[in-house]
Amino acid sequence: MGCSLKALDTRNTLHDILNTLSIGMMIFKTDGELLLCNHTADRIIENSSKMDIVDRQLQFRSRESAELNTRFHQALQQTSSDQGLILLGGQHAEDTLLLAFTPTNPPDQPVDTVVCMLVDPNSSPQIDPTLLKQLYGLTEAESEITALLAEGLNYSQIAEQRKVAVSTVRSYSKSIFRKLRVNCRSGVVLRVHATAIPVSNAASLNG
């Protein structure tokens, strides 16, 4: 982050910022005490069979829990700016979770807090039509259709969902292609996901 979290005025301000993100974010003290946890991390942990938060401590629930706890505390104690990674893999690919740890302090200062990004590789990215509208100068209808295209829906599915004719969706799509500077639906998918901002639909950037 480039500065110690001690410089922050209030914990609530940081918590509000973290809650705008659709990536799981947690902040730990180096002794393992959980200081902050955003809504996305709460949801991932609640739905996970691999970990839990008990008495402000992250606990792993698996046969390798002792090894994972050791690796967790080693990641918290790292002194370099490189990320410490823990991959929680299950018997099925959909069980996989990734934890990435980064110290909040500059390299020349003692580490007192560590940011942990909690990523569920199988979760679908949240696409906010409002952000698409602002990024590409789309109308409200165009931004909503762009989000649906980026989620993989075809013209017929979008028309059914929006209760309009397929020809109407095609007409909107032509305008969308022009504004996003692409030539096809796959181009929309690539463009939207390449410029995706990890912000939760449930959060407001304007307070």
Looking at the chain, the domain(s) classified CATH 3.30.450.20 span: 5-119
* Largest Cα span, the chain: 62
Q: Is the pLDDT of residue 11 over 70?
A: no
Question: Which of 12-26, 34-48, 88-102, 191-205 bottoms out in mean pLDDT, i.e. has the lowest?
Answer: 191-205
pTM over 0.95: no
Structure tokens at 14: 């940081």
What pLDDT, on a 0 to 100 scale, did the predictor assign at position 81? 45
Given a cut of 60, whether residue 5 has pLDDT beyond it is no
The reported pLDDT for the residue numbered 107 is 62
pLDDT-above-90 percentage for the chain: 24
Question: Quick one: pLDDT at residue 67?
Answer: 78
Residue intervals of the chain classified under CATH 1.10.10.10 are 129-194
Note whether 118 and 44 are within 8 A (CB).
yes
pLDDT score for 93: 54
CATH class, domain 5-119, is alpha beta
Q: Assign 203 a pLDDT band (cuts: 50, 70, 90).
A: very low
Q: Topology of 129-194 in CATH? A: Arc Repressor Mutant, subunit A (1.10.10)
